[in-house]
Structure formats: structure tokens, C-alpha cells
Amino acid sequence: MAAGIEEIDAGYVHGTTWHNMPNYVQQDFPVTIAQCKEVFDYEMKVVPSYGKYIDKNGHKVTYAIPGANHVVRPDTQTIIAPSIGSKFTIIDQEEFVNWVDNAVLKAHPDITIESCGTLFSGSGQFISVAIDKYHIHGDESEQINRILYHHRIGVSAYSYCLNTVRVVCDNTRRLAQNTSAIMAFFKHTAGAGDKIKAGILDLVEAKSAFAVDKEKMDFMARMDFSVEDVNAVLEGLWSTEGKEGRSLTIAQNKHKKVKDVFEGGQNGFLKGYDKTAYAFLNSLTDVLGNENIKGDGNIGLDNIVGQRAGIKEKAEELILARA
């Protein structure tokens, strides 16, 4: 077994995998709807759970435990989940794959399925689609935004998330979820399917916002950024004017952290682009993304929709105003 892939599991991957498991087919073209249906073509059946006892006559008696059920996979005669609740329901995977085909792929021909598969003898299932590929001028790395759909019966709920990790096993599935700032979970109950579809469509529709952001980033990658520019933007974000004591120290520390990253250089930038406005914005993002957050807050989510996201939006405005 490699990272959750057991003997009876199956999958397809666009590209190569690190594990080279023969039951995960590697191919040089996107995964097809037919291949997804093939992978998920097995029954998961909810059946009553039984107990046994010896009656007063010494006979073995088998009885159904009230309200107790488990999930089995009849084709392999394996138990998928030993105990489930009374409200447990399973999404029809064939119907879900058909929905992905009609609502996502056919509506957006540039979106492709990057991988699909089963994990832990079929109790886990996933589909990963690549919704947006881009390359910022001056940055040598290609970025891919992906949506991952996953669930594992008896262990984890239905979920979807926006991420940048190519999923080819349970290890990469965990990495995709752990590094995702936008993620939602739904229990295996009625209505989960509709909620997942709505959430995935919201992420798909965000493609237009990604395109606008790419245009801004490309422009900044061609925009030289001087020491004067750096100081002006940092002052606009964390003003030192009129401050003293702790407030002044906090602002000065913010300035220093961003300058240290910007002036020290960053991996991934081609020569000549490490002192552009885009490199400066990346320095700011690096600092904000590695800060500690108070309480139970989510630093990743805060960088997407919270206070830190607001700081980055303001930084973009201040940077572009100096063009």
C-alpha cells in the first residue's frame, strides 16, 4: 500500500505519480468522465448491524441492533464503515460525475480533470480538477488552481477545497486540504450533494477574478520598484507618522520584515525581476502569510478574506497608484 492506495483501489492521473502504483494509471492527457465512472463503478450498501447472544436454552440467537448500520462493498465483500448514524446517506457517484461533466467541464471547456481515484479499499473517493493555469511574467514557476472533491466513509465528511496541489494519493490529498484557505465539509446526510455542487460552482465562477488578478500581476512584474516606492507603500499600510512607543515599534517592525524579504531576494524570480512591484507584493504576502494569528483564527483564511487580505488589497492599490 502507498499512501492509502490498497490492492483493490483504482485511479487515473494526468502525468506521473511519485508512487508508481500500477492500479493508478498514469497518462499524458486529462482524465476523462468515462474513466471517473469506471473508477467509481462499485456499490456501497448500507446494511443492518447484528448482535449475537446465547438464550436460556443454550441456542445462539442473532438479532438486528436497533438503529445500528454499517456500510459494505458487496463486490469485494469488505466492510467500508463498521458503524454509521441513522441519517447517513451516500451521494450517487455516477450522478455526481455526470454533474461534473455537464455543469463544470462542458460549461468551461478549459477546465480539465487532473486525477480521480479511490483510497482505502474504496471507502475514500476523490476527483481533482484544474480550473486555472497561469504564469506571471518574470516568475519561473507555473501556478495551477485546483478544486478537490473528497470523502471517506466512516472517517471524513464530504469536502471540497481550492488548492494548488496535484492529488495522486492520500498524502497529497491531506496536503491539498491542509494548505487550502477555502474549504468546506458536509456530513454524509441528505442535502450534502447540493451543498457541494453549489460550493464548487462558486469556486469555478471565481475564474474570472483569477484572470483580473493575473493581469494586475503581469503589469506589476514589468514595473520597477524603487526604495522610494517601497517606503511610500509601507508608510501607507503602517504609518509611522505621529506615532510613538509600542505603536511606532509595531509599524517599524512591519516595515523591516517586508524590506528584509524584498531586499534579500526570493526564489523563483528570473534575473532582473526581483526588484519589481510584483516581487515587492510577494514579499508582503510572504510576511503576512507567516505571521502568528491570535486565538483560534485561521491564518490562511485571514489571508484570503480577512484583515490580511484587506492589507494586500490596499497594497495593490498603493502600488498601482505609483505606476
Residues 141 and 66 in one domain: no
Residues 239 and 273 in one domain: yes
**183 within a domain of the structure (yes/no):** yes
Residues 130 and 271 in one domain: no
Q: Span 201-226, mean pLDDT? A: 78
Examine the pLDDT at 76 and tell me if it is beyond 70. yes
pLDDT digits (tens, 9 = 90+) for 151-166: 888 777 888 888 888 8
**305 within a domain of the structure (yes/no):** yes
Examine the pLDDT at 239 and tell me if it is beyond 60. yes
Residues 294 and 191 in one domain: no
Residues 242 and 145 in one domain: no
Residues 193 and 106 in one domain: yes
Task: Give the closest residue to 237 by CA, choosing from 273, 285, 279, 291.
Answer: 285
**218 within a domain of the structure (yes/no):** no
Q: Span 273-278, mean pLDDT? A: 82
Question: Predicted confidence band at 204 (pLDDT cuts at 50, 70, 90)?
Answer: confident
**213 within a domain of the structure (yes/no):** no
**Of 85-94, 95-104, 111-120, where does mean pLDDT reach its minimum?**
85-94
pLDDT digits (tens, 9 = 90+) for 110-134: 899 999 999 999 999 999 999 877 5
pLDDT digits (tens, 9 = 90+) for 3-46: 789 989 999 999 988 888 899 999 999 999 999 999 999 999 88
Positive or negative: CA dihedral 311, 317, 321, 323: positive
Residues 142 and 79 in one domain: no
Q: Span 236-263, mean pLDDT? A: 91
From 144, 172, 207, give the residue that closes a domain: 207
For 67, the domain range is 45-84
The 10 Å Cβ neighbour count of residue 58 is 6
Share of the chain above pLDDT 90, in %: 30
**E-assigned strand segments in 44-193:** 45-54, 60-73, 78-84, 112-119, 124-134, 143-152, 156-163, 182-186
